[in-house]
Amino acid sequence: MKNLRFIPSRLAILSILLLALSFRSVAQQGAAQRDTAPAHIGFIYPISSNGKQAASITNRFSLHVIAGLSKGETGVALAGVANVVKENAHGVHMAGVANVIGNDAGGAQLAGLANVTGNNADGAQLAGFANIVGHEAKGAQVAGFMNLAENAGAVQLAGFTNIARKNVKGAQVAGFLNKAGDVNVQIGGFANVAKKVRGVQLAGLINIADSSDYPIAIFNFIKNGEKSVAVTIDETMTGIVSFRSGGRVLYGIAGIGYNFRNNAKAMYAAEGGLGAHIRLGGPLRINLEAISHTLTDFDGGHYNKNSLRILPALKLGNGFEAFAGPTLNYVSYERENDYDFIKKYIWKNNSSKDFQGLFVGVNAGVQFLF
């Protein structure tokens, strides 16, 4: 009785084999006179309806239990493991492991592991691990791990990395890293690398580009952008030394510092955030900043502050800029710490376990631009 459960699958395979062999004798008789076939059915090369001539025949439909080999495909190709096409393939290609196409591909490619195209792919590619295109991927590439192409015309979406050796007309979205020449949008979980970015460049930590006006990350190394080292102080008497880096509009902020009040324990500071330059003309501009800031004594005491800053700035020449302005701040800390940095609040929560308050403060500083 146990073997009965295997009968349907065995019958299916046997049926395909018998069908392939029945076509094979007929197909081989005219193989030398033709290079196309309406259907190619088989098990694995050369056990198929096209037999040993399979590599020189283009098919409109292919179905193989394990793997199919052909010169070209113009319709649908299905294989349990792999579809291997020596030249061009158009239509829909589905394989349990891989679709391998020697020249151009058009239509849709779906593979459990990888889609590999030697030249151009004009259509969508969906793979569990990787999509690899020798020249241009004109359609969307979606992969569990990696997309690789020379040029990409639409979107590259990957769980780990997208790499375009030249340009991407659309967007790159990856869990870890995106790399391209010229690109419209990059969104990377860790880092983005490009030459010219026309839109937003968003990364968890680092953006690198020759030109990018809208980088969003803590560290942005933009060739035609701006970098600076700033020294600031706020209403709590916390001094911060920060590195600011970005493009002509957006920039990232990362800093460390110390609170100079006479506290029971020494308190150290760290902050990170994003900023935007609004140019007013001449040496004047406004720097808008959104900051997350923490003071800690490394012994259980934490003072957390999130701030919005409006900082008018004046360039002083020789790469220096001074700035100062109001801030809107939301703070929270454990009530037992009873920090008294601020006396007057716009709003405070007296009923929660942790103290929460909203107040208007000030931030001022000077930075060296390079």
* % pLDDT > 90, the chain: 87
* pLDDT exceeds 90 at position 13: no
Where is average pLDDT lowest: 6-20, 32-46, 115-129, 253-267?
6-20
- Confirm or reject CATH 2.40.160 for domain 227-369, answering yes or no: yes
pLDDT value, residue 350: 81
Q: How far apart, in Å, are the Cα atoms of 310 and each of 40, 137, 183, 255, 364? A: 69, 44, 32, 18, 10
Whole-number Å distance between alpha carbons of 70 and 101: 10
Give residue 34's pLDDT.
62
- pLDDT at position 5 over 50: no
| Pairing of β 196-203 and β 72-79 | unpaired
What does the pLDDT look like over 141-151, one tens digit per residue?
A: 999 999 999 99
Question: Considering the entire predicted model, what is its pTM?
Answer: 0.88
Give the angle 261-266-270 at the CA atoms, nearest 5°: 90
What does the pLDDT average to over 8-20? 47
CA distance 367 to 323: 8
Average pLDDT of the chain is 92
pLDDT, position 20: 46
pLDDT in tens, 313-348: 999 988 999 999 999 999 999 998 889 999 999 999
- What pLDDT, on the 0 to 100 scale, is given for residue 318? 84
